[in-house]
Amino acid sequence: MLAGGPAEILKLGNTYRPLVMVKGKPLIDWTIAAVKKAGYSHIIIVGSKEVLSEIYKHLGESGIEYIEERQHLNTAKTLQLVKDKIKSTFLFVPCDHYFEIDLKDMEHYHLQSRTTCTLAVYAGTKHAWTKSSIVRMEGNHIMEYFESPAQAKTHLTALMIGFAEPEIFDNIPAAQISYSLQKDVFTELAKQKKLTGYLYDGIWKNIHDKNDAKYL
């Protein structure tokens, strides 16, 4: 679970986004439940000390591993912190998304695709997300990934929920520089035809405001 970046960015009032109440319980409870329901038991949360501390107060150990991000160098570098712990296909999810994706079905789809990474792609009509992460697809392949919406040619939205192979780390430099999954890694994988999309039109919400939960 990716919860990187400066702690204040993830704060909504006095609450960090993973702990915002959604449908009667903290958002992170829904995410953990979805992951466990799909049969995944090794859960790693990566984030700043402040965010991890608050999550730990709520979840405790519960078989969860916490990795502190001491330098905030963007999403790809957040993911890179788990590199040494990844030996096979793995799932990554953001800390601030509510979703009801069938993760087991998505994993099967990814394995069948034989690509480096598969992203959930929202293809419904309930949310018009035009800020970033718009993709153009041909068949199941994501041909272009637009982090800048001004360049976008479609309304298909990548959700930052995905499955990947360990080789994805080959696309993240070892140097301590700012590097983004969205702007750098996904755009390059799309060019290489190593990025696929799993179309999803169900319930999803990026929790950027406490009022967002009211629409679920």
Count CB atoms within 10 A of the CB of residue 155.
15
Find the CATH number of the domain harbouring 204: 3.90.550.10
DSSP secondary structure, 6-21, as one string: -GGGGEETTEEGGGSE
Number of independent structural domains in the chain: 1
Amino acid at 106: M
**Phi, psi for residue 15 in degrees, rounded to 5:** -125, 140
Contacts of 21 (CB under 8 A, 6+ apart): 27, 213
pTM above 0.95, yes or no: no
Span 11-69, pLDDT tens digits: 998 999 999 999 999 999 999 999 999 999 899 999 999 999 999 999 998 889 999 99
Span 144-197, pLDDT tens digits: 998 766 666 677 889 999 999 999 999 999 999 999 999 999 999 999 999 999
What residue numbers bound the domain in which 35 lies? Answer: 2-215
DSSP letter at 184 equals I
Dist. CA 63–CA 31, nearest whole Å: 15
Structure tokens at 13: 């009032």
Q: How far lies 121's CA from each of 6, 68, 93, in Å? A: 27, 29, 13
